Amino acid sequence: MRFLAAEDHVTITGRTLFVENTRYLGFSASAVSFTFEGKKAQASIWSNANEWGEGSDPLRGWIAVYVNGEEEPERRICLDREEAVYTLYESEQERKVTLTVVKYSEAAFGKCGIRYLEIDTDRLLAPPAHKERKLEIIGDSITCGYGVEAENELQAFQTATENPAKSFSLLTAKALDAEANLISWSGNGIISGYVDETATVPSDGCLMPEIYEFTDLSGSETLFGQDKMKWERWDFSRFVPDVILINLGTNDCSWCKDMQERKDHYRDQYVEFLKAVRGHNPQAHILCMLGTMDQRVLKEAEEAVRIFSEKTEDDAVHFLALPAQNPEDGYGADWHPSPLTQRKTAELVTAEVRRIMGW
């Protein structure tokens, strides 16, 4: 039986585009889940593998397949062809199974468009239910799990070493038994993306305050080019979070450095971003955090939360200062958090969410 990754057949996690019968998984941890009885399941998937050249896969797309909610994925699949049918699951005996296909590579790299899903029987069952608790998690590479499986900080980034399941974001969601929507993009920020020390202008072409308004900006650019009138704006009623986690500022630090004028601009624009987030999510608690990789705008991030809270009389906005990563805990690619650092961060964030929500 062949079927589309449409919402009457599958459960959707995260912000995904459904265009011309193809389900595009863009953001880290976006996923489709379905339940069936049978021995085998496959997926026809489009990707942009041809952009990386023959025999080269450092930035190709990756997906992981989970079976019946197991702790570890049954398969991790590199999307190494532009159009291909991939086996998601295979068993010698017929079973009732729930499969979850999760995007492991982040939005900027490794596109993934599910053309169709196919099972070896006609027994496609009702899609699995959503979890009751819901988290929206807005962030950068730390949230994506960038390079978390790299051997050390000197190993160049590859999508093969990226794993959102080992990021603080999904570890927190797992600890809280919550569904998580990740809006995360490496190198991104409030007023600037990552820039090197010699930069004379910020990297402000595509920042989170803009990304946040769209279903999937990277997918929209792929499908529609630069015509923003065609880009799909996110319908915020589709996912109503109980808690929103925001971890933004690490990349802004590379531009702000120790220049107070730039730091103040970051603070002021953070306040504006909070206004937008609150406008779309009037009932959610918002927990802002910063500090794991760079703490140069930590004070300004906390000030932004205080200013917003005081001006709007909003007591459901909170701030959590995160400790700097400990060299003894190791590093991932490009000095990013190691699995141990990500776990420690998740423990702190989980405890704070429990305190705020009484969970």
Tens digits of residue pLDDT in 120-146: 999 999 999 999 999 999 999 999 999
pLDDT one-digit tens code per residue, 216-249:
988 888 888 888 888 999 999 999 999 999 999 9
* pLDDT for res 290: 98
pLDDT at residue 346 in the model: 98
Cross-strand pairs, 61: 79
Encoded tokens for 194: 């990552």
Sign of the CA dihedral with 201 first, then 137, 170, and 29 last: negative
- For residues 314 and 308, what is the distance between their CA atoms, to the nearest angstrom? 8
220 or 318, greater pLDDT: 318
Residue 28 vs residues 135, 142, 144, 199, 336: alpha-carbon distances, Å: 14, 11, 6, 28, 16
Helix (H) or strand (E) holding 17: strand 16-19
Residue 130 neighbours by CB under 8 Å, 6+ apart = 11, 179
With 70 as the cut, is the pLDDT of residue 74 above it? yes
Q: Is the pLDDT confidence value at 334 over 90? A: yes
**Cα 110 to Cα 217: distance, rounded to the nearest angstrom:** 14
Q: How far apart are CA 188 and CA 202, in angstroms?
A: 11
Per the CB < 8 A criterion, the answer to whether 218 and 282 are in contact is no
Beta bridge pairs of residue 80: none
Predicted pLDDT of residue 218: 85
What pLDDT, on the 0 to 100 scale, is given for residue 54? 67
> Of the candidates 356, 329, 335, which has an alpha carbon nearest to the alpha carbon of residue 245?
356
Report residue 103 as tokens. Answer: 């995007």
State yes or no: pLDDT of 50 exceeds 90. no
Rounded distance between C-alpha atoms, residue 7 and residue 4, angstroms? 9
Averaged pLDDT of the chain = 96
Q: What is the pLDDT of residue 57?
A: 72
Give pLDDT, residue 72.
96
Looking at residue 340, what is its pLDDT? 98
**pLDDT tens-digit series, residues 251-305:** 999 999 999 999 999 999 999 999 999 999 999 999 999 999 999 999 999 999 9
CB burial class (10 A; 0-12, 13-18, 19+) of residue 3? middle
pLDDT surpasses 70 at 56: no
